[in-house]
Structure 1
Amino acid sequence: MNEFQAILTKYWGYSQFRPLQEEIIHSIAEGKDTLGLMPTGGGKSITFQVYSLSRPGICLVVTPLISLMKDQVENLQKKGIKAMAIHSGMSMQEVRLAFDSAAWGDFKFLYLSPERIATERFRERLPQMKVNLIAVDEAHCISQWGYDFRPSYLRIRELRELLPDVPVLALTATATLKVEKDIQQQLNFKSENVLRKSFFRDNLAYLVREREDKLQYLLQSVQKAKGTGIVYVRSRKLTREISDYLRKNKVSADYYHAGLTAASRTKKQEDWKDGRTRVIVATNAFGMGIDKPDVRFVIHLGPPDSPEAYFQEAGRAGRDEKKAYAVLIAAKSDLLALKKQVEKAFPPVDVIKRVYDALGNYFQLAVGFGKDQILDFSIGDFAGRYNLPITTVLNCLKILQREGYLELTEELDNPSRVHFQVERDDLYRFQVANASFDGFIKLLLRSYSGLFQNYVGIDEDLLAKRANISIDVVYRFLNHLNSHKIIHYIPRKKTPFIIFTRERLEIGRLKISKENYTDRKNEYQERIDAMLRYSTSKLKCRSQLLLEYFGEKGSVRCGKCDICLERNELGLSQLEFDNIARQLKEYLHEPCLFEELIFKINHNEDKIIQVIRWLIDNGKIIHRIDNRLEWRQEV
């Protein structure tokens, strides 16, 4: 057993790595900058965690997903591994203390949101950190052509200049060949080095069903399927409505979206993971960091807006390598809505400027001020105050973010936090002088450890139950201790944040570049078109369509998707079908009589007839009024 396997067994209890994990670890161990492409659920985080634990020093992990960051830190801490996270939901004092701890406190992992890299405090403390690896999670975010580009990710290049001898591991589940190249250029790889696992999923059957009565088909599918599953929908409102519909029809179901409290989300996740809930109906907020290998089906009610998103979400089915299904149920209205999505996602430039100007007024920021300010943001309140649709506001903010004017964090549910600001001797003197607080202080110290070293998350409800007092009395104690500077108490807050990465500009100086508007709009149109092709194709294997999008050419038919199953019923081999279809397409560039085709194509007549009938049934060949056949051109 080598050192990496020993660490894997000690902390994770596995005797063997999954495919590609060990290859990536050895690549970093040789000092090579590495881009690891692993499908959802492939165990990306284990690669940098195992490597870093095998070396002295700390691993810097850059990720944009605060919720995932917090989950991974929590999981590492449960294993007895010292890890911490620094993100935009923390106070300046918390950040200062965390950076000091990372520099002097023997931590193994420091998770950072990308905007933290530019801060003065981080630059001051970085020389004291013995960094053994820079891990970049969700690495497609650094690519201009990635579907979720974040300008703050470009800051990672500065880390390379500050730590020239530290290798970089970039990880993502979905990247086209164009994005792969761009990631390596943006991260200044010393030489190209991509390690990838094929995106082909042998155990996953992709199915597309065009149904106007989507709910009825969904219910039939869920009732017929075995095991647990996920149903993805496009809005928070639909999560509740559809889970209610399933429950009314005696299906164990619950709903999930980012607007729920952290406690509620955790409970729903655990109920589903442990089998108490069979089906979870969710927005795309569900799934990140949730490792449930025995998901038997993932159903989408309507297509998402990119093959990347679909592949990642559908890929949560069948991680145990057993048979599973990824089903897309789409009505004609869904496909029409998807076609209109491009115009919605890219509002007119004058609307974007209006939103930016309104944002400055909303926060009462003067022109020339606001740089690096982190501000609580209620998108609903803002949209209502300025009479703007929420989706328009959100899409404008995404464009302003790509342009580098601001950062919009995900909605974050931060628990209340406490840190003792006095030494133990001073605290004892305060307790003696203020006997009425003595019992509560002792309760705090009994309930939570590390209060003198770091900010610690607390639960006011739990404290109230343990002390047998009301929650209001707990708040009163905490606020009183805070006012006497015995503790620093940060009450729980649930909100997204806006970070102004530049000072507020006059509206006339605000520039929306061709790269971040027109070029990105064209890229988005290409992703929408690819998703529409996947959703409406009647001829090509679903798996092949996805693999070709991600650059895997020449893959074989999967034999399991709805297209392949229909073809299999013809009794023709893939080679025979494809050969006949190719010749038909070649000869039908002009309308042709059936008898002429039979004469031209060198193949068994019965088999030619079967293929022609199949292509007519699936809309690829048109049977005209004049009895001629014509190949339908792609629209």
Structure 2
Amino acid sequence: MSDFKSILTRYWGYSDFRPLQEEIIQSVDKGNDTLGLMPTGGGKSITFQVYSLAKPGICLVITPLISLMKDQVENLSKKGIKALAIHSGLSQQEIKIAFDKASWGDYKFLYLSPERINTERFKEHLTNMDINLITVDEAHCISQWGFDFRPSYRKITELRKLLPDVPVLALTATATREVEKDIQKQLAFKKEHILRKSFFRENLIYIVREREDKLNYLLQSVKRAKGTGIVYVRSRRLTKEISEFLRRNQISADYYHAGLSSLNRERKQDDWKSEKTRVIVATNAFGMGIDKANVRFVIHYGPADSPEAYFQEAGRAGRDGKKAYAVLIYGQSDILALKKNVEKSFPEIQVIKNVYQALCNTFQMAVGYGKNQTKDFNLGNFASKYKMQIQAIYSSIKILQREGYLELTEESDNPSRVTFVVGRDELYKFQVANSSFDGFTKLLLRSYSGLFSDYVPINEEVLAKRAGLSLEVVYRFLNHLNAHKIIHYIPRKNTPYIYFPKERIDISRLKISKEHYADRKSDYQKRIDAMIHYSTQKLKCRSQVLLHYFGEDESVRCGKCDVCLERNELSLSKLEFDQLAEDIKKSLAEASTFEELIMKLKGKEDLKIKVIRWLMDNGKIVRRIDNKLEWKRNPETNGSKTE
């Protein structure tokens, strides 16, 4: 057994790797810069984790997802593997301690948010770290063509100059061919090298339904389905309304969105993961960092705004390899709303500038100041204060992020943390002099270990129960000990962060480039069009449409989606259907009556009638006022022979 396989068995309990995992590990082991493309749930993290455990030194993992960092650090720690996470949600003292540990401790993994790469503290500590691999997770973020571009990812190129002999492993589940090339260019690959697993999910059945009464169709779908599932909706309001509707109809359901408190979100996640709750109705804030393999269905209550987002969210179903469903329910109002979303996502330039100025004023940053600062940000409060629409603010921030003026971290679940800032002797003197705090101080020490050497996550509710005190009294004790500099207490936070990589500039100097506005608007329009096409077309296998978008042009029909099942009823093979449909298309170069068309075509009459009827039912052949048939021209083709 190879070292890599023995590590896989020892820590994960698997006897063998999944497809592509070992190839990626072997590629990196040969010193190759490698781009690994694997669908959601394909086991990307095992590739860099197994490789680095087999080598001396520490693996640097760059990811923008704080929830993913925390989840992986926690899972590695449970296996007895030492890992750290550093991001802008931590205090400066916590960041210093973490970098010291990474430099001098026997840690195997350092998870780093991209904006930390450019800090002097990181660069100072880098010389003391034996880095065995640079892993770039969510690698599409480095490409300006990626759907979630982050300028701070571009700093990885500078990191490569400091670590020229360390290989880079870039990983993503969503990349078009254009993005693949750009990732390798931006990461300064010594030579292009892609290891690609097909995005085809054999066990995932795609279904699309156009329904104006979406709510009742949703209810019937959930009732028919087995096991646990996710329902994705487009607004926070809908999460609550739909979950309540499902509960009224005897479905165990709850709702989830980013505006809930950290404790509330954590409880809802845990209830769903443990299957106390069967269905979670959520915005797209739900899913990242949540590893649940046996999700049997993911239902979208209206289209996502890009095939990338849809593929990633739908891909959370059936990660255990067993049959699962990805269902999209839409009405014409959803299609209209999606088209309008393009304009909403690109506010006027002056609006973007106003948002930037208001943000800097809110954080009291003078022109020329604010570089590398991180600020808590409450979008709702900000919108209320400046009487701006939330959509306009959020979209403006995304454009400012592309320009590199700031970065928004949308995750915010940071538990309360405590560390003692005095030694044991000083603590004893304080306890003697302040006997009323003696019991609470001892409770802290009994409940949590490592308080004298590190920041330790605590739960105030647990402390209150153990002490038989109210939550308010526990907060008072903690704040009092913090004020007397006995502990450093960082209360739990429930807001996203905005990071400023540059000092504030005068509004007259703020530039929004064509590259990051007009070009991106055009690119976003293409994503919207592609999503509308996926939703509304009824001729081509759903899986093939998605795979074609990601550059897989030779994929076969899945045979299971709604389009395939309907075509299967014609008792024709794909080749026979495509050939007959192509003949019909050519014959309708000039409009014909139904009878004339039948006469023009070769083959059995019953099959010709079946295919013509099918093409008419699915909108590809239309009947004119004069009763003649013609082929409907569709400008949004996706490469199918019959389109």
> 1:539 — aligned with what?
539
> 1:397 — aligned with what?
397
1:255 to partner: Cα distance:
1.4
Q: Structure 1, residues 160-204: CA drift from partner, whole Å, max 9, x if none? A: 111111111111111100001110111011111111111111221
- Segment drifting more, 413-422 vs 58-67: 413-422
> 1:548 — aligned with what?
548
> 1:508 — aligned with what?
508
Identity of aligned residues (%): 73
Instruction: After TM superposition, list the pairs within 5 Å mapping 1:153-168 onto structure 2.
Output: 153-168=153-168
Contact 2:246 2:253 (8 Å CA) reproduced: yes
> 1:616 — aligned with what?
616
Matched residues in 2 for 1:438 and 1:210: separation? 65
> 1:62 — aligned with what?
62
> 1:354 — aligned with what?
354
1:3 to partner: Cα distance:
1.2
Matched residues in 1 for 2:109 and 2:262: separation? 23
> 1:294 — aligned with what?
294
Matched residues in 2 for 1:451 and 1:102: separation? 19
Amino acid at match of 1:607: L
> 1:584 — aligned with what?
584
> 2:256 — aligned with what?
256
Amino acid at match of 1:426: E
Amino acid at match of 1:240: K
Matched residues in 1 for 2:97 and 2:227: separation? 46
Matched residues in 1 for 2:324 and 2:469: separation? 51
- Segment drifting more, 14-23 vs 383-392: 14-23
1:596 to partner: Cα distance:
4.1
> 1:129 — aligned with what?
129
Alignment gaps of 5+ in structure 1: none
> 1:477 — aligned with what?
477
> 1:138 — aligned with what?
138
Matched residues in 2 for 1:223 and 1:494: separation? 35
Matched residues in 2 for 1:385 and 1:105: separation? 46
Instruction: After TM superposition, list the pairs within 5 Å mapping 1:3-42 onto structure 2.
Output: 3-42=3-42
Amino acid at match of 2:85: A
Describe the shift of the 1:413–1:294 C-alpha distance in structure 2 as closer, same or farther (beyond 3 A): closer
Aligned residues: 635
1:381 to partner: Cα distance:
1.4
Amino acid at match of 1:114: P
> 1:285 — aligned with what?
285
Amino acid at match of 1:166: V
Describe the shift of the 1:383–1:479 C-alpha distance in structure 2 as closer, same or farther (beyond 3 A): same
- Secondary structure of 2:428's match? helix
Matched residues in 1 for 2:594 and 2:460: separation? 79
Matched residues in 2 for 1:581 and 1:211: separation? 27
Alignment gaps of 5+ in structure 2: 636-643
Matched residues in 1 for 2:413 and 2:35: separation? 32
User: Are 2:312 and 1:320 equivalent residues in the alignment?
Assistant: no
Contact 1:247 1:253 (8 Å CA) reproduced: yes
> 1:102 — aligned with what?
102
> 1:331 — aligned with what?
331
Matched residues in 2 for 1:312 and 1:498: separation? 25
Matched residues in 1 for 2:551 and 2:315: separation? 17
Amino acid at match of 2:323: K
1:595 to partner: Cα distance:
4.2
CA RMSD of aligned residues (A): 1.5
Matched residues in 2 for 1:393 and 1:612: separation? 50
- Secondary structure of 2:127's match? helix
Q: Structure 1, residues 100-131: CA drift from partner, whole Å, max 9, x if none? A: 11111111111111000011111111111111
1:261 to partner: Cα distance:
2.7
Contact 1:28 1:167 (8 Å CA) reproduced: yes
Contact 2:58 2:133 (8 Å CA) reproduced: yes
Contact 2:262 2:494 (8 Å CA) reproduced: no
Describe the shift of the 1:573–1:103 C-alpha distance in structure 2 as closer, same or farther (beyond 3 A): same
User: Are 2:111 and 1:111 equivalent residues in the alignment?
Assistant: yes
- Segment drifting more, 433-442 vs 624-633: 433-442
User: Are 2:603 and 1:603 equivalent residues in the alignment?
Assistant: yes
Contact 1:259 1:411 (8 Å CA) reproduced: no
Matched residues in 1 for 2:536 and 2:106: separation? 55
User: Are 2:431 and 1:431 equivalent residues in the alignment?
Assistant: yes
- Segment drifting more, 135-144 vs 470-479: 470-479
> 1:406 — aligned with what?
406
Matched residues in 2 for 1:384 and 1:103: separation? 44
Matched residues in 1 for 2:18 and 2:237: separation? 38
1:65 to partner: Cα distance:
0.8
Matched residues in 1 for 2:486 and 2:385: separation? 40
- Secondary structure of 1:316's match? coil
Contact 2:65 2:411 (8 Å CA) reproduced: no
> 1:631 — aligned with what?
631
> 1:379 — aligned with what?
379
- Secondary structure of 1:110's match? strand
Amino acid at match of 1:290: I
> 1:444 — aligned with what?
444
1:568 to partner: Cα distance:
1.1
Contact 2:257 2:282 (8 Å CA) reproduced: yes
> 2:211 — aligned with what?
211
Matched residues in 2 for 1:547 and 1:170: separation? 21
> 1:568 — aligned with what?
568
Amino acid at match of 1:370: G
> 1:237 — aligned with what?
237
1:433 to partner: Cα distance:
4.1
Structure 1 length as normaliser, TM-score?
A: 0.97
Amino acid at match of 2:90: M
Q: Structure 1, residues 290-339: CA drift from partner, whole Å, max 9, x if none? A: 22222221111000000111111111112222222111000110011111
> 2:638 — aligned with what?
none
Contact 1:621 1:632 (8 Å CA) reproduced: yes
Matched residues in 1 for 2:10 and 2:215: separation? 47
- Segment drifting more, 264-273 vs 541-550: 264-273
Matched residues in 1 for 2:317 and 2:465: separation? 41
